[in-house]
C-alpha cells in the first residue's frame, strides 16, 4: 500500500476527530478497523442505519459490536441481535457472554429463554417478528437491531420474516444489516432507505483470507476457475472443462459399447 499524502493524512485525522465514539471503540480492539468497518461505524455514530455487504470472514461483526458499544453508553438502551438459525444464535450468545458478561446478555430461540430483559439479546429472526406482532414490552428501550445474514430476505420460504421485521420495527430503532456480498446491494439499500429512513450502504469485496476453489477429478485437485491471468476471474478453468468433456465421452461410450 502506498503511503498517504499529507492531505490524505489530514483528511483522515479530521474524520477521526468527528467520530470520538468510533475512536473510543477502536481503542478497545486488538486490531485496527478496516476502511469499510470505520465507514459503517461512523454512519451509526451519525444516527443512520447501515447495510454492510462483505465476504464471510471480513469482519462485519465489528460493526454489530460498535452498535452494542453505543447502546452501552446509554443507561437503558438495548440491542437485539438476530440470526437465521438457532445454532448461530447459541454461538453468538456464548461469544457475547464472554465479551460483556452473563448479566448483560440474553438468548431467545424456540428452545431457550435466557435473561430476556438483558441489554443485549440474541434471538432468531422469527422470535423478533413474533415480538413485534405481540407488541411485546421487551421492545421498550430498543435502540439497535442487528440482522445477521440479512440476505435471507431473498429466501423464497423464510424471506417474508425478514421483510416483516424490517417494515414493522419502530422508526426510532437503528438497523444494522449484515450481508454476504450480493449483486444488488444498492437496490436493497434503496428499499431500506424507503422503509427505514437514512441508511448507509457499505460494500467491500476484499477477502482477508483468500478463497481457493478446487475440484477433485480422478484423485487430482484441479483449480475450479482459470488462474492463468493476474486478476481473479469467474471463467471456468479450461483444463477442468476438457477433463469433464473427456469423462462424458467415456461415459457415453461405455453405456452402449462392447464389454
The 10s digit of each residue's pLDDT in 67-94 is 999 999 999 999 999 999 999 999 999 9
pLDDT at position 230 is 44
Interval 137-171: pLDDT, tens: 999 999 999 999 999 998 999 999 999 999 999 99
Q: Is residue 208 part of a domain?
A: no
Supply the CATH number for residue 23's domain: 3.40.50.300
User: Are 178 and 221 found together in one domain?
Assistant: no
pLDDT at position 7 is 57
Q: Is residue 209 part of a domain?
A: no
User: Are 31 and 126 found together in one domain?
Assistant: yes
pLDDT grade for 237, boundaries at 50, 70 and 90: confident
Shortest CA distance to 144 belongs to which of 106, 105, 173? 173
Over residues 19-27, the mean pLDDT reads 89
- Residue 220: beta bridge partners? 217
> What residue has cell string 461483526?
61
User: Are 169 and 252 found together in one domain?
Assistant: no
Interval 30-50: pLDDT, tens: 888 999 999 999 999 999 999
pTM above 0.85, yes or no: no
Q: Is residue 1 part of a domain?
A: no
pLDDT at position 226 is 65
Q: Is residue 241 part of a domain?
A: yes
User: Are 148 and 249 found together in one domain?
Assistant: no
> How many angstroms from the chain centroid is the CA of residue 150?
7
Give 257's DSSP letter: S
Domain enclosing residue 247, as ranges: 214-256
Angle, vertex CA 39, rays to CA 65 and CA 90, nearest 5:
25
User: Are 199 and 222 found together in one domain?
Assistant: no
Residues 6+ apart with CB under 8 A from 153: 159, 162, 163, 166, 188
Q: Is residue 122 part of a domain?
A: yes
Q: How far is CA 234 from CA 97, 226, 228, in A?
A: 41, 7, 12
User: Are 39 and 163 found together in one domain?
Assistant: yes
* For residue 247, pLDDT beyond 70: no
Tally the domains of the chain: 2
C-alpha cell of 178? 449484515
Q: Is residue 218 part of a domain?
A: yes
Residue pair 141/172 in contact by the 8 Å Cβ criterion: no
| SS3 assignment, position 254 | helix
pLDDT grade for 134, boundaries at 50, 70 and 90: very high
Amino acid at each position: 500500500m502506498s503511503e498517504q499524502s499529507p492531505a490524505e493524512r489530514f483528511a483522515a485525522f479530521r474524520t477521526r476527530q468527528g467520530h470520538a465514539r468510533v475512536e473510543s471503540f477502536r481503542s478497545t480492539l486488538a486490531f485496527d478497523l478496516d476502511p469499510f468497518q470505520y465507514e459503517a461505524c461512523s454512519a451509526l455514530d451519525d444516527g443512520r442505519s447501515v447495510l454492510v455487504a462483505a465476504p464471510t470472514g471480513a469482519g462485519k461483526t465489528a460493526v454489530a459490536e460498535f452498535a452494542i458499544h453505543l447502546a452501552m453508553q446509554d443507561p437503558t438502551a438495548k440491542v437485539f441481535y438476530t440470526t437465521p438459525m438457532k445454532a448461530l444464535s447459541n454461538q453468538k450468545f456464548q461469544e457475547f457472554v464472554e465479551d460483556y458478561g452473563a448479566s448483560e446478555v440474553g438468548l431467545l430461540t424456540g428452545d431457550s429463554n435466557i435473561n430476556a430483559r438483558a441489554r443485549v439479546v440474541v434471538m432468531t429472526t422469527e422470535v423478533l417478528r413474533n415480538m413485534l406482532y405481540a407488541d411485546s414490552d421487551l421492545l421498550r428501550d430498543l435502540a439497535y437491531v442487528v440482522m445477521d445474514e440479512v440476505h435471507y430476505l431473498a429466501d423464497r420460504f423464510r424471506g417474508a420474516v425478514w421483510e416483516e421485521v424490517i417494515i414493522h420495527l419502530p422508526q426510532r430503532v437503528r438497523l444494522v444489516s449484515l450481508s454476504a456480498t450480493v449483486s444488488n446491494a444498492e437496490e436493497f439499500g434503496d428499499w431500506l432507505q424507503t422503509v427505514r429512513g437514512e441508511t448507509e450502504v457499505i460494500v467491500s469485496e476484499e477477502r482477508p483470507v483468500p478463497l481457493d476453489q478446487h475440484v477433485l477429478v480422478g484423485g487430482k485437485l484441479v483449480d475450479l476457475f482459470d488462474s492463468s491471468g493476474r486478476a481473479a476471474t469467474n471463467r471456468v478453468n479450461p483444463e477442468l472443462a476438457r477433463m469433464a468433456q473427456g469423462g462424458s465421452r467415456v461415459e457415453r461410450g461405455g453405456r452402449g459399447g462392447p464389454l
